[in-house]
Amino acid sequence: MKSSAYARVRILIAANDIKDFQEIATIIQKKTLVKDLHMHFDTLQARILDPGKWSIHQLAALSDLLEIDHSVLTGMAYRLRKQKKKGKK
């Protein structure tokens, strides 16, 4: 059974109240994400800190867990990656 935190995140994303992956990891415990995404903790942490490191496969898996369209998280990762690159200039 999936955590009710996934439903909470889905609702917050739909309301445009979640802007980044750190917010998702605040609501859904990282240990839950690691288990459900079959990902090492350090790998998850790296992707939270640098959204450009997410693979399409990983974003699709997280989207499936959240029961949202894959383009939502792909768009979020792209936007955050672009912001991060802009901040480095």
Question: Which pLDDT tens digit goes with each residue over 43-80?
Answer: 999 999 999 999 999 999 999 999 999 999 999 999 99
Q: Does the pLDDT of residue 36 top 60, yes or no?
A: yes
Residue range of the domain that includes 63: 28-83
Q: Looking at the 3D structure of the chain, how many domains does it have?
A: 1
pLDDT of residue 68: 97
- Per the listing, tokens 């739909």 go with 14
pLDDT of residue 89: 54
Position 24: which residue type? I
Q: Does residue 72 lie within any of the structural domains?
A: yes
Q: Does residue 4 lie within any of the structural domains?
A: no
Q: Does residue 16 lie within any of the structural domains?
A: no
Position 6: which residue type? Y
Q: Does residue 88 lie within any of the structural domains?
A: no
pTM for the predicted model, two decimal places: 0.90
